[in-house]
Homo-oligomer: A and B are copies of this chain.
């Protein structure tokens, strides 16, 4: 603690659970290893932390080689894993981050990297599968009490499009009626005033919306046990 004694040091890597809704499915970005250990297995993007950088900057730097960092709409720390046996050869701590990419963008990927529907991800290298599940569950929980949807949605969208995104991320159907009312009442969404042209098959034109707040915001802070009223 004083900085004068000798003490052990460890390798430290960052890992990214990158999620995006693609074609109606929540997908996870993985790359395929070619060298042991776990050659051939799919793994989370990431890499070793450099001497002068914070964990967050490190994960952004490593991601820049996989997806354009400017396309990341959200990045938050998930947790740090430390089991001594998680890497077969050396003691390597890993801090995982959850990153989100808005629907619609399609970043160019290196050849070893691709998107996988998150419910199909079974065998992964190391403990990456459990980290991916943790990221998916964190996203699902926060969709219901924060405005985190902004990080999955394109800049402008109809309620039907947003409904599809929420349904894919949550893994169950979502009613457009209720989604609209909940998010409007909470002032998470605002109408842009524009409308879309309907399909050839007809139908009423849909109003366009955007997320009011560009950043992360908790919208339903005290579900219960809230402070007594001011009276």
Partner of A77, one of B8, B79, B87: B79
Interface contact A9-B11, CB-CB below 8 Å: yes
A118 to chain B, nearest CB (A): 17
The interface residues of chain A, by DSSP majority, are classed as loop
Q: How many copies of this chain does one complex carry? A: 2
CA distance A95 to B77 in the complex (A): 12
User: Within the complex, what minimum Cβ distance (angstroms) separates A59 from chain B?
Assistant: 11
Question: Does A160 touch B at the CB level, under 8 Å?
Answer: no
A2 within 8 A of B: yes
Q: Does A175 contact B (CB under 8 A)?
A: yes
Q: CB of A154 within 8 A of chain B?
A: no
Contact assessment for A2 and B80 in the assembled complex, using a CB-CB cutoff below 8 Å: no
Question: Contacts A50-B8, A80-B80; is A90 near B3 (CB within 8 Å)?
Answer: yes
Asked if A182 and B55 make an inter-chain contact with CB atoms under 8 angstroms apart, the answer reads no
Which residues A51-104 have CB closer than 8 A to chain B? 51-56, 77, 79-80, 82-84, 87-91, 93, 95
- B144 pairs with A223, CB closer than 8 A: yes
Interface size of A in residues (CB-CB distance below 8 Å): 59
Q: Does the CB pair A84–B36 fall under 8 Å?
A: no
Q: Does A170 contact B (CB under 8 A)?
A: yes
A179 to B228: give the CA distance in the assembly, Å.
12
Cross-chain contact of A55 among B1, B3, B82, B89 (Cβ < 8 A): B82
21 A/B residue pairs, CB under 8 Å, sorted by A: A3-B87, A7-B48, A8-B11, A10-B10, A49-B82, A53-B84, A54-B82, A54-B84, A55-B82, A80-B80, A80-B95, A141-B221, A144-B222, A145-B223, A145-B224, A170-B225, A170-B227, A172-B227, A173-B228, A174-B225, A175-B228
